[in-house]
Structure 1
Amino acid sequence: MTEVKQASAAVKEKLYHLIDEKTQRMIDIRRYLHQHPEVSFEEKATGAYIAKFYEGKSVAVETNYGDGYGVVVVIDSGRPGKTVALRADFDALPVQEETGLPYASQNKGAMHACGHDGHTAYMLILAEALYEMRADFDGKIKIVHQPAEETPPGGARGMIKAGVLDGVDAMLGVHAWAPIPYGTIECTKGAVMAGRSSIKMTIKGKGGHGSAPQLANDANVAASFFVAAAQTIVSRRVDPFEMATLTIGNFDGKGSFNVIKDAVYLEGDVRFMKQETCDIVEKNFKQMVKGLETMFGVEVDLFYDTDYPVLNNNDALTEFVQHSLQTSNIAELQHLDMTHTESASEDFAYFAQKVPSTFMFVGEMPDDGVFYPHHSPKFVINEKALPLTAKAVGAAALDILANK
């Protein structure tokens, strides 16, 4: 890449030192948030906790930002320069925790089963460190605490509509990732996370008695056929070299053993890494629904919506961030992977559609190598990943501001 300016080694070392000094507080914050999770669009107490953290600091703080409980904080150096936005999400999931941790969730039916408590904790401490270092950089750093990443339509779009990206030159986001070993950061150019379409459909037949199926029209049979047949869209309509998944995750056909149900409800989703693939799957899915109606004489109410686009990392910014990570002498960073992509989806994609953005993954696999997938009731993280995340994002942000 062409020669670029970066923040000095001394400035970065100052940042690392501050983060090291504050690491225990970072962990304490994460554990408090883990004990008090709130699900998407209901994070009122979490938003208030985040806003309270900034009391006594000379920063502009906006609360209830967007469609939910978002918090936006601007750290202004007082000198002209770029504006870099740093985003961390803070919603939990409707999952009953089964970790047995001493700081397990105290809110029944809610759990930080995806690590957003860690995202918020690292970002709060990083923001505090950058605030204390505001004499060491030019421009502004905008801290974006985003609610409701987990539930469509997500919190990002509302914050964008409210103006969170106004004046922003670049944006950085991170997801700590349990399947990745601690000490590894993945930072890839181009399409890095899948887009997603959500499916909800009711198949309506005619109910009746199990002893006389000829007098009924079994919606369960039609639905079962459809679930199996829909898999042929991926296997026979999508290029084998392109990524796509189609999942029917909810099949509500429960009833009495001798009753033929008149309606069955299905829910699912589609994942893809290209818009063309998204269009192919949607077209064929809808054609198959019409065919099902004809073949089985049923009626189908279908909701099909592409709610999260593909997350595309800006090539130029991501190359710059890769270089920053390679040259910033972060002791905890042992390996930088610049090729990995993920099939999960993220509403950070909406930010990336509007401004040059880079989204990274930081390994948080427990030291014993045993991990549970994200969204599992047994999900745990390696808290050593938190200061590494803060140092990586902070160093990259300082380098972006220095590269005038």
Structure 2
Amino acid sequence: MAKEELPYELNDLFPHMVKWRRHLHRYPELSFQEEKTSRFIAERLLEMGCEVREKVGGYGLVAAIKGNLPGPVIALRADMDALPIQDEKDCEYASTVKGVMHACGHDGHTAALLAVASYYQKHREGLAGERRLLFQPAEESTPGGAVSMIRDGALEGADAVYGVHLWTPLPYGQVSSKPGAFMAATDEFTIEITGLGGHGGMPHKTIDTVIIGSALVQALQTIVSRSVNPLDSAVVTIGSFHAGTANNVIAEKCELKGTIRTFNEYERERIRKRIEQMVRHTCEMHGAKYQFDLRVGYPPVVNDEREAARFMQVGEQLFGAEAVQVSDAIMVAEDFSYYLQRVPGCFMFVGAGNEEVGASYAHHHPMFNFDERAMKDAASLLIAMAENYADEAEK
């Protein structure tokens, strides 16, 4: 399977990628609800002649393309769920579903992997081993679709796994990744405080949960600065604070919601315990009651060192040395981490930002869009990574 064939064949497939992506963008579905999305993907795969296994870990699909030659089993993954965000773009493929949109590029990931399926299906005779394409549901919501797909055997017998993310902070034409810890573990927590409400003019008769909650917001910010090793990275963010109903009423209840981001399990567990200690001591000091609920999220994305080196080599071959970057670690989470806990692999960013086509908004923004040409880069990178691995395994 000569690498010089890739640009030509993917150029030919590009109009199909755009068509598939725009259909998915018009009809997005939330995590764990991707029934029509899954059916659309299955129909395209069956039209290509692929062997398709449906309802894997929910609405997930696995397309197994097996060559006539012996070789490794290489898994390639795309996610396909949307977000609870109202699409504010003015374009002909804007979301038709109120309050739901593809605001993170998963529609593009799916379209690119469909192109990969088409490519491999045409080259089955010369294929060494198996290329297993994973169309995953529910990346955006814990516990995530990766866990259930793995439980249903999606990675069984796999030798390597690769995934891409179209990334608008990175300009179109560039790609990036890094060895080791790449993306953060994430946990979410809710703190409910119950005090004693009363008249705003008689605070001495109350237990003011606004005061307690405010003290906690300030105290929790000291965890990273005073309880975490300065050489480690971590984030504790309070994203929601709700209390009170009127300007002259002292609130009886207060609710805080936040997130924890870390790169190693030691600091992750340490921060969880430290938050609960602070909540308990602060509430006891003021005579309030509390409930602390922790929702454990995804582990960190940790790229295999050897596979990250493969990315650098393959990226330079495809795009040129100047287009390949070693990324900084970022505090965004991804459930691709579960695949990497089972099988060596690499998660990679493909530049999709371009102000000229309106692709300059952040991921999860109501105006989010990406340069659609990046889908061709994503498909090229996935194929090239798989074939480089297969070539090495053959030697």
TM-score between both structures, scaled by the size of structure 1 = 0.93
The equivalent residue for 1:250 is 240
Given that residues 198 and 269 in structure 1 are in contact (C-alpha distance below 8 angstroms), is that contact kept between their aligned partners in structure 2? yes
Pick the aligned partner of 2:61 from 57, 71, 74. 71
Aligned mates of 1:254, 1:42 — CA distance in 2? 35
Q: Which runs of 5+ in 2 are unaligned?
A: none
The equivalent residue for 2:19 is 28
Given that residues 87 and 101 in structure 2 are in contact (C-alpha distance below 8 angstroms), is that contact kept between their aligned partners in structure 1? yes
Aligned mates of 1:256, 1:78 — CA distance in 2? 72
Aligned mates of 2:362, 2:355 — CA distance in 1? 15
Deviations 1:264-295 (A, max 9, x none): 12211011122222122112111101111211
Helix, strand or coil for the counterpart of 1:241?
coil
Deviations 1:144-199 (A, max 9, x none): 00011011111110111111110000000111111111111102111110111111
Given that residues 200 and 267 in structure 1 are in contact (C-alpha distance below 8 angstroms), is that contact kept between their aligned partners in structure 2? yes
The equivalent residue for 1:360 is 348
Aligned mates of 1:39, 1:210 — CA distance in 2? 43
Change (3 A) 1:220 1:375: same
Aligned mates of 1:115, 1:24 — CA distance in 2? 17
Aligned mates of 1:380, 1:305 — CA distance in 2? 30
Equivalent AA in structure 1 for residue 139 of structure 2: E
The equivalent residue for 2:325 is 337
Q: Which runs of 5+ in 1 are unaligned?
A: 1-6
Change (3 A) 1:370 1:27: closer
The equivalent residue for 2:338 is 350
Q: Does 1:153 align with 2:153?
A: no
Match runs of 1:260-339 below 5 Å = 260-327=250-317, 329-330=318-319, 335-339=323-327
Pick the aligned partner of 1:133 from 106, 123, 127. 123
Helix, strand or coil for the counterpart of 1:150?
coil
Aligned mates of 1:175, 1:399 — CA distance in 2? 20
| CA drift at 1:32 | 1.1
Given that residues 15 and 130 in structure 1 are in contact (C-alpha distance below 8 angstroms), is that contact kept between their aligned partners in structure 2? no
Aligned mates of 1:300, 1:336 — CA distance in 2? 49
Given that residues 68 and 127 in structure 2 are in contact (C-alpha distance below 8 angstroms), is that contact kept between their aligned partners in structure 1? no
| CA drift at 1:105 | 0.7
Q: Does 1:13 align with 2:7?
A: no
| CA drift at 1:59 | 2.7
The equivalent residue for 1:4 is none
Aligned residues: 392
The equivalent residue for 2:190 is 200
Aligned mates of 1:160, 1:204 — CA distance in 2? 41
Given that residues 137 and 401 in structure 1 are in contact (C-alpha distance below 8 angstroms), is that contact kept between their aligned partners in structure 2? no
Deviations 1:115-143 (A, max 9, x none): 11111111111111111111222100000
Deviations 1:205-248 (A, max 9, x none): 12222232222212122111111211011122122232111111
Q: Does 1:94 align with 2:61?
A: no
Aligned mates of 1:264, 1:170 — CA distance in 2? 47
Helix, strand or coil for the counterpart of 2:133?
strand
The equivalent residue for 1:110 is 100
Equivalent AA in structure 2 for residue 152 of structure 1: T
Helix, strand or coil for the counterpart of 2:297?
strand
Deviations 1:332-385 (A, max 9, x none): x85111243221000000110011010000111114386111111111111111
Helix, strand or coil for the counterpart of 1:39?
coil
Q: Does 1:49 align with 2:37?
A: no
The equivalent residue for 1:3 is none
Given that residues 45 and 117 in structure 2 are in contact (C-alpha distance below 8 angstroms), is that contact kept between their aligned partners in structure 1? no
Aligned mates of 2:227, 2:319 — CA distance in 1? 46
Aligned mates of 1:52, 1:376 — CA distance in 2? 30
Equivalent AA in structure 2 for residue 282 of structure 1: R
Q: Does 1:210 align with 2:196?
A: no
Equivalent AA in structure 1 for residue 54 of structure 2: T
Equivalent AA in structure 1 for residue 221 of structure 2: Q
**Runs ≥4 residues deviating over 3 A:** 367-370
Q: CA RMSD in A?
A: 1.6
